[in-house]
Amino acid sequence: MPVSESDPKVADVRARLEAARAASASPPDKAAAKLAQQGKLYVRDRIALLVDEGSFVEDGRYANALAKGLPADGVVTGRGTVDGRPVIVIANDPTVKAGSWGSRTVEKIVRATEMALREELPVFWFVDSAGARITDQVEMFPGRRGAGRIFHNQVALSGKVPQICCLFGPSAAGGAYIPSFTDLLIMVEGNASMYLGSPRMAEMVVGEKVSLEEMGGARMHCTVSGVGDILAADDTEAIELAKLYFSYVPQNWRSPLPSYAGESPSAPLTRASVPERESQPFDVHEVIDGLVDDDSFFEIKALFAAELVVGFGRMDGETVGIVANNSMVKGGVLFTDSADKAARFIWLCDAYSIPLIYLADVPGFMIGSEVERGGIIRHGAKMVSAVSSATVPQFCVVVRKAYGAGLYAMGGPGFGPDATIALPTARIAVMGPEAAVNAVYANKIAEVEAAEGAEARDAFVAARRAEYEEDVDLERLAADLVIDHIVEPEDLRAELLHRLRYAAGRDRAFATKRRGIPPV
């Protein structure tokens, strides 16, 4: 076969393409040194840790190839598989103008999200970006396919497919909304940050002098604002946590949940697991670990509003969502932050058909002028709204006390759970005996004390308290069908497993309307 003559133009194209490909294959030496100093991985190394070997197919690698110093225009997009499951990956390259966005950067991200919408594929967001390039603002900011389209598509994806974000560096200005629209936000301590205005801008505009860490650092967002869900030590841990979270959720809203071989709990529940005196605090993680398969509890927002514990676990290999009051922190009282934390987690579980188990040990919502000014009623209503509208199987387990609106917020009988189960330590009432007696008999108590002395007062209070406790006796509540069953702690896991299997085919309808108007 004759050898064809080479065409100089083709050779030139090949050479330029090879140079462009090489430019985006690895960072320049100076950029690599900066990554190493920051303890960061290169964008392609991050993706390699996420996806199955050899599975990644990239789109738009030659974006903006004609411009010098903008390989792939600062973002890597494509698809691959994670543990055999197809996903979309969108990853900023911080070595290219600090991961900033140009017009082609935005177009690549929009196309990737459109692909996710068409095929209902999960999206992994690897964010490390200084935000928009001001020089490109007209091309990338205001138009129909500008940056706003990314947020529009994220909202359309919400509840349709899992969106998981690892924040490795900054996420500045409008770009900070990308992580906030995802289902899970993992932030790398010391490197990750989110802010609408930089510390320099805050000083110029509002006269506030503040450090980046104080304003929008990873630890602040995971402990104070609640924007972050999990704090990671480095890039590798963040990616491993993202993959672990993915193992609990389905491919999309239509898909079944992942299923694994069941295991026994790390330590089974016993009657000693739950203190009988309701005033004695204990760590509810012990109850959770006694219910779920060994080492399977994946906690979300562990550092934020810790009086309420939320997360995924596996029971006999199947995913469940846990919402639990933790009396070790602030007595397990519900605050505005814990109500927000619960509502979002319940919405997440409902979106992906994950059954919910509520472990109630709650004295109610916090009272006082500070929380009232902070909107405790509105935030509490948000949590109750989430519980009410969830159509997945739900089980209310009254571990100890469930007082006042705390019972409602924890999926009590009035909210149609598949079952309300109580331990023998359970108490259900409008309020605790001491508070109730004082509320009803305050004047009478004062009269008895004034007329007969402290001893008579104490006897009167004890008698009224005994009456109150008899009125809300656990056996009476069971006899009146307020609760469906009473079990010992050692039998609770088996009871829940049976009921979870039976509830799997429940109707998912709630109400016929366009949408609710939640109190947010």
Same domain, 481 and 347: yes
The count of structural domains within the chain is: 2
Alpha-carbon distances of 339 from 329, 408, 467, rounded to whole Å: 15, 12, 33
Range of the domain at 115: 35-248
Is the same domain home to 200 and 154?
yes
180 and 315 belong to one structural domain? no
Decide if 29 is inside a domain. Answer: no
Largest Cα separation within the chain, whole Å, is: 121
Within a domain: residue 278? no
Cα–Cα distance measured from residue 1 to residue 360, given in angstroms and rounded to the nearest whole number: 80
Bridge pairing between strands 298-300 and 394-403? unpaired
Judging by beta carbons within 10 Å of its beta carbon (0-12, 13-18, 19+), is residue 47 exposed, middle or buried?
buried
Domain match, 337 and 191 both: no
Residue at 463 is within a domain: yes
Inside any domain, residue 28 = no
Task: Read off the tokens for 42.
Answer: 């290169």
Are 67 and 112 members of one domain? yes
pLDDT 10s digit of each residue in the chain, 520 long? 566 778 989 999 999 999 999 999 999 999 999 999 999 999 999 999 999 999 999 999 999 999 989 999 999 999 999 999 999 999 999 999 999 999 999 999 999 999 999 999 999 999 999 988 888 888 888 889 999 999 999 999 999 999 999 999 999 887 889 999 999 999 999 999 999 888 888 878 888 888 888 889 999 999 999 999 999 999 999 999 999 999 999 999 999 999 999 999 999 999 999 999 988 999 999 999 999 999 999 999 999 999 999 999 999 999 999 999 999 999 999 999 999 999 999 999 999 999 999 999 999 999 999 999 999 999 999 999 999 999 999 999 999 999 999 999 999 999 999 999 999 999 999 887 777 777 778 888 888 888 888 888 888 888 888 877 777 899 999 999 999 999 999 999 999 999 999 998 888 888 899 888 988 8
18 assigned to some structural domain:
no
Q: Is 352 found in the same domain as 401?
A: yes
> Both 401 and 353 in a single domain?
yes
223 and 343 fall within a common domain: no
CATH number, domain at 382?
Answer: 3.90.226.10
Q: Of 189, 193, 183, 133, which is closest to residue 160 (Cα–Cα)?
A: 183
- Percent helix, strand and coil across the chain, each to the nearest 5: 45, 20, 35
- Residue 399 inside a domain? The answer is yes
Residue 415 lies in a domain: yes
20 domain residue, yes or no: no
> Residue 201 is inside which H or E element, if any?
helix 199-206
- Give the per-residue pLDDT at 218: 97
Same domain, 322 and 177: no
Assess whether 311 and 234 both reside in one domain: no
Both 299 and 192 in a single domain?
no
pTM of the model: 0.94
Per-residue pLDDT at 3: 65
Are residues 348 and 435 both part of a single domain?
A: yes
- The b-or-e profile of 99-108 (16+ CB within 10 A means b, else e) is bbbbbbbbbb
Instruction: Check residue 231 and give its pLDDT.
Output: 98
Tell me the one-letter amino acid at 32. A
